[in-house]
Amino acid sequence: MIKKWRAQNLRILKVINLIMCFGFIFFFQRMTFAAGPHSHGSAKLSIVMEKNKGTIEFSVDSGAIYGFEHMALKPADQKRRDDGVNRLRTNISKIIDFDPSLKCILTESKIDAFVSENDHKSKSVNAKRQATHGELKAEYNFVCEKSPQGSKLNLAFGKIFPSIHDLDVQIIGEERQSKQEVEGKEGKVQL
Ligand SMILES: [Zn+2]
């Protein structure tokens, strides 16, 4: 009698275990979906302006800048990463090109060549190594002699980095806010 009861209990436990396992897998999948892998080749730009000054934030999958999305551990990968960052640095005045009559000066405030999607969960090196979707983030400041608000800004990310096929631009000025898109190699947005 006791044996039979145990066997039945064991079977119930097994079923509960199985349900929990599936539940976890399902939950985990939903979590990774919610975290959202970025869309490859689709970059984001955010421009905030106040009078004649402003800030620009740029982010894209690191594959579009240096060809891969994992943490660069091998010297060859580190070289590819650094070459990609240098290409961004040396071409930035062609990539983010204000109307010359405004006399704007753009300065880099920060480039983070590898931001992993696991960053918000864990900052451990292990988590970064395991990341499958690395991003590059860059921040810039600009100051112009004349206010750039209302002017046209030429953006040519796709010209220097051909994997970037689309750029979503968010613009926040003192009088208007807008979302604009640049498709292909280059295009203008209205500030
Ligand atoms: Zn990715």
Neighbours of ion ligand 1 (CB under 5 A): 61, 69, 133
C-alpha 43 – ligand 1 centre gap (Å): 12
Long-range contacts of 98-101, Cβ-Cβ distance < 8 Å, separation of 24 or more: 98/142, 98/144, 98/148, 98/151, 98/153, 99/148, 99/151, 99/152, 99/153, 101/146
The stretch 162-179 carries a mean pLDDT of: 97
- pLDDT range class, residue 126, cuts 50, 70, 90: low
Q: What is the pLDDT of residue 118?
A: 57
SS3 label, residue 93: helix
* Average pLDDT value over all residues in the chain: 85
Spans of all domains in the chain: 1-35, 38-190
Mean pLDDT of 114-121: 68
How far, in Å, from the CA of 19 to the mean position of ligand 1? Answer: 31
Whole-number Å distance, alpha carbon 132 to ligand 1 midpoint, is: 6
- Distance from Cα 69 to the centre of ligand 1, integer Å: 6
In degrees, rounded to 5, the angle at the alpha carbon of residue 57 between the alpha carbons of residues 43 and 164 is 20
- Ligand 1: distance of its center to the CA of 189 in Å? 26
Q: How far apart are CA 53 and CA 82, in angstroms?
A: 29
Average pLDDT of 68-84?
96
Residue 63 C-alpha to ligand 1 middle, in angstroms? 7
pLDDT in the model for residue 38: 85
pLDDT value at position 133? 87
DSSP codes, 40-75? TTEEEEEEEEETTEEEEEEEEETHHHHS--S---SH
